[in-house]
Chain A
């Protein structure tokens, strides 16, 4: 149980275009989803936290107009990178937390590798 999927696993887009990444909890309801970015040989940096039906909370330094996050249902959150630039090329990982308020566990998706040319 507790499987999180991401789609696509890899995407290449041209500079200036937008790209959407989906994160789904397959066998549980995720009240909270998290989006991370990981540059090569670096750690995971939290970008934002999204709760179902609410606006996402962005970490300091993350442009909310550039990284649009929508958590429209208890099983789906999307991250849209708008007007992508080469510096947005990175590995994006989502995670989901189940509805049990006492649970600290985050279940991670397999990641999406974005390359902006």
Chain B
């Protein structure tokens, strides 16, 4: 089965707290991509990161960081020192080889309170 699980439906934090959004995926493919997108209230998806299955290096971009672990099929996303503008729904997605389709997780709604 090809599946993405985001077990956290909704998270609330106070501004400046760190928060980690979990993503667990399932696939039989050896070549695949993983993505994170942010969806603010406007609805437009904002691309955050792409990772291919052969690159397990963690990545940091400003306050954002990602931890990819193939051993646990996880691709977690951490926001450091959260801000109110980080409030949004965050989706993790799995890109499949061959069809190039994306399978999206159910999303995690993050609320950052001032």
- What are 19 inter-chain pairs, A to B, with CB distance below 8 A? A32-B100, A34-B101, A34-B102, A41-B109, A44-B91, A44-B104, A49-B101, A91-B43, A93-B45, A104-B33, A104-B50, A104-B52, A104-B100, A106-B100, A108-B45, A110-B43, A110-B44, A111-B43, A113-B43
The answer to whether A49 and B102 touch across the interface, beta carbons within 8 angstroms, is: no
Mask, A19-45, CB within 8 Å of B = 1, is: 000000000000010100010011111
- Give every chain B residue within 8 A of A106 (Cβ-Cβ): 95, 100, 102
Most chain B CB within 10 A, of A44, A45, A97, A105, is at A44
Q: Which residues of B contact A111 (CB under 8 A)?
A: 43-44
Residue contact A49 to B43, C-beta cutoff 8 Å: no
Please state if A43 and B100 are interface contacts (CB–CB under 8 Å).
no
Compute how far the CA of A106 lies from the CA of B99 in the bound complex, rounded to whole angstroms: 12
Contact A105 B50 (CB under 8 A): yes
Does A13 count as interface, using CB distance less than 8 angstroms? no
- A46: interface (CB < 8 Å): yes
In the bound assembly, the distance between CA atoms of A91 and B52 in angstroms comes to 29
Which 5 A-B residue pairings sit nearest by Cβ, starting from the closest?
A104-B95, A110-B44, A104-B33, A108-B45, A111-B43
Apart from A46-B101, A95-B102, what are 7 other A-B pairs with CB-CB below 8 Å?
A: A34-B102, A43-B91, A49-B99, A103-B100, A106-B95, A108-B37, A111-B44
Per-residue CB proximity of A101-117 to B under 8 Å, as 1/0? 00111101011010000
Q: Are B99 and A43 interface neighbours, CB within 8 A?
A: no
Once the chains are docked, how many angstroms separate the CA of A49 from the CA of B103? 13
Q: Chain A 35-66 against B: per-residue CB contact (8 Å), 1 yes, 0 no? A: 00010011111100100000000000000000
Cα of A105 to Cα of B100 in the assembled complex, Å: 8
Most buried by A among B45, B99, B107: B45
Report whether A43 and B102 are in contact in the complex, using a CB–CB cutoff of 8 Å: no
> Which residues of chain A come closer than 8 Å to B95, judged between CB atoms?
104, 106
CA distance A45 to B42 in the complex (A): 18
Cα(A95)–Cα(B100), bound, Å: 12
